[in-house]
Amino acid sequence: MKPNYLKILLIVFCLLFSVYLFTRYVNMPFVGPNATDQNVFSLVARNYNNWGLLNTKFSAIVTLSKNLPAKPLIYFHHPIFMTVFMSFIYKVLGYDFWIGRLSAIIPAFLGLVMIFLLGKEAKKTNFGILVLTIAVLIPATTAFGRMIHYIGAWTLLFVISTGFFCFKYVKSNRKIFFYSALVCVVLGTLSDWAMTYFTPFLFPLMMKNNKKKEGILLVLTSTITAIFFIFYAYLVLGSLGNVTDAILNRSVGRLLSLPFWPLLWGAVLWIRFIVYLNPVFTLLSGIYIYYFVKKLLRKKLDNFDLLLFAFFAVAITHILLFPEGSFGHPFWIYLLVPFIALGSAHIVYEKIKKSYFLLAGILVFSIIFVLRIENWKTEQNLSNLFRYNLAKSISPYFFPYDTLAINPDSVIDEDLLQYQFYQNVKRIKLPVNNFNNINYYVYSCLNCDLKTPNVSFLAQKFKYKEFKSPPGKVFIFFLKQKVENLNLEVKKDAPEILEIKNVKIDRQSYLRKTYNYLLNLLQAPQI
């Protein structure tokens, strides 16, 4: 068959556009919303490389230390596939910020390839291109796809791949596709817990095609893999407290203490659906749900409908099971991307594909919308770049693995100091008379000066250095050093620090004002 070069060109263009979106400011330091996840998981990956996977027992160690501690702090809230892969890519390429993000961009890009193949398999190549186009234009695809977090690109890749191989299997009856699905189930479960409740939602698809045993095997595979990891965590930790804490913190937590929390939670989710999933695609997906219900009542659901049901159900279950997590983290809706892309593409393909002016309007709007949201998310991070610059300005005064005291409301984040600058941190509330064995107190703040009470308290007792990076300021108080020792040069063993310049931010934009208003109104940590 003669290749259709126009279709190939469209596919390549969509993928290249996604690469452009994925790689904008790709080497920016891990600052801004959700920076903690990126710093902490990068620290875990670096510890794997420093001490060895076998020596760490594959444990997600979040302790900052030159040598492997006898009793390290271990983070087993999630399985470990993502951080193990990160350690590999860091080992090969080094520790720049773009390399950390590359560990997420690779599976996110592969996820786009898989969703194209799924669309092509479901109908034809034209539909696959339409699904790919919509997936790329969904802001969540790139905003959350390049982010280092567990409910992220690896989990979504294996969810899409499992759905694709199951769909291929029920159509062709070739076992190779089912075995491929099982591999994806194992790897997906080792990426995050969502796979354990995705496989039960595939059961209707398998049952419809007389694959009951295979459906049961999918569920058993994910369940056994999850039990294996939990048992492994128990052997390492001696208890399941780490895992149960994760469930409780994400299920209840601060959200339930807010008045009228169901209304606040629902409002935050609805705003995120509009912002991160595109209002037009969200509406079209809602229309698809309407037709799905009609077909369900008539008992006319086909394989495509049942697969989309599984994609929708796993995403909604993940949100409902963990209201605190979905309230505090925008990326909790990331699992909805396959359903939104396939569902809205189905409505376009079946109902409005000949309405050329409408389609052109949707395309133009969606391109502008995704670029605007991308700029907004970039602005969020750039507006926090001063925190990195403050930390960078004080880093020459410390050796790696020194312990610093910081103020509880420090504008230099604890995880930033630990991962990016190799400093251990203790939060100490002022005033206090005894700092024990700590040599430095780092006080960082917004728009403060020597007249600020806590700064004044320390300045009257200790020598200090002051650094600025608007709108922030940081003071180093030398608790035990004499004044003649203040002329310090960069330590020989200090890590290489990237040179990142401040970027001018329009802090009075309408979007920023709206964002801040919604934060205050809904009492959400971020939108």
User: Per-residue pLDDT for 215 more than 60?
Assistant: yes
Q: CA 289, CA 296: separation in Å to the nearest integer?
A: 10
Same domain membership, residue 373 and residue 418:
no
Pair 313, 200: CB distance under 8 Å: no
User: Per-residue pLDDT for 491 more than 60?
Assistant: no
Give the end of a domain, one of 355, 380, 405: 380
User: Per-residue pLDDT for 509 more than 90?
Assistant: no
Q: Is 507 a member of any domain?
A: no
pLDDT band for position 483 (50/70/90)? very low
Best CA proximity match to 326, nearest among 259, 384, 253, 274: 253
Q: CA 348, CA 334: separation in Å to the nearest integer?
A: 22
DSSP string spanning 417-445?
HHHHH--EEEE-PSS-S--TT--EEEEEE
Express each pLDDT in 71-99 by its tens digit: 999 998 889 999 999 999 999 999 999 99
Q: Is 176 a member of any domain?
A: yes
**Would you say the C-alpha torsion 509, 515, 519, 522 has a positive or negative sign?**
positive
Same domain membership, residue 441 and residue 367:
no
Same domain membership, residue 395 and residue 376:
no
Same domain membership, residue 178 and residue 266:
yes
Q: CA 55, CA 58: separation in Å to the nearest integer?
A: 8
Pair 172, 57: CB distance under 8 Å: no
Same domain membership, residue 426 and residue 364:
no
Same domain membership, residue 221 and residue 158:
yes
Environment class of residue 496 by beta-carbon count within 10 Å: exposed (0-12), middle (13-18) or buried (19+)? exposed
Same domain membership, residue 313 and residue 420:
no
User: Per-residue pLDDT for 506 more than 50?
Assistant: no
Same domain membership, residue 317 and residue 202:
yes
Please compute Rg for the chain using Cα positions.
25
User: Per-residue pLDDT for 39 more than 90?
Assistant: yes
DSSP string spanning 271-320?
HHHHHHH-HHHHHHHHHHHHHHHHHHHTT---HHHHHHHHHHHHHHHHHH
Domain that holds residue 135: 106-380
Q: Is 204 a member of any domain?
A: yes
Q: Is 465 a member of any domain?
A: yes
Same domain membership, residue 399 and residue 331:
no
Q: Would strands 424-427 and 463-469 be described as parallel, antiparallel, or unpaired?
A: unpaired
User: Per-residue pLDDT for 515 more than 70?
Assistant: yes
Express each pLDDT in 229-284 by its tens digit: 999 999 998 888 878 877 777 777 777 788 888 899 999 999 999 999 999 999 99
Same domain membership, residue 226 and residue 138:
yes
pTM (2 d.p.): 0.93
Give the end of a domain, one of 380, 404, 431: 380
Q: Which pLDDT score, from 0 to 100, does residue 498 have?
A: 46
Instruction: State how many domains the chain has.
Output: 2
Q: Which pLDDT score, from 0 to 100, does residue 493 have?
A: 46
What's the whole-number mean pLDDT along residues 426-450?
A: 89
Q: Is 400 a member of any domain?
A: yes
Residue 386: which residues within 8 A CB-CB, separation 6 or more?
Answer: 411, 469, 470, 471, 472, 502
Express each pLDDT in 338-384 by its tens digit: 999 999 999 999 999 888 899 999 999 999 999 999 999 998 899 89
Q: Is 329 a member of any domain?
A: yes
What's the whole-number mean pLDDT along residues 324-338?
A: 94
The proportion of the chain whose per-residue pLDDT surpasses 70, expressed as a percent, equals: 93
Express each pLDDT in 169-208 by its tens digit: 999 999 999 999 999 999 999 999 999 999 999 999 999 9
Same domain membership, residue 299 and residue 204:
yes
Three-state secondary structure string covering 31-79: CCCCHHHHHHHHHHHHHHHHHCCCCCCCCCECCCCCCCCCCCCECCCCC
Q: Which pLDDT score, from 0 to 100, does residue 115 have?
A: 98
CA dihedral 390, 391, 395, 401 (to 10 degrees): 160
Q: Is 318 a member of any domain?
A: yes
Give the end of a domain, one of 380, 405, 435: 380
Same domain membership, residue 305 and residue 399:
no
Residue 441: Cβ within 10 Å count: 24
Q: Is 513 a member of any domain?
A: no
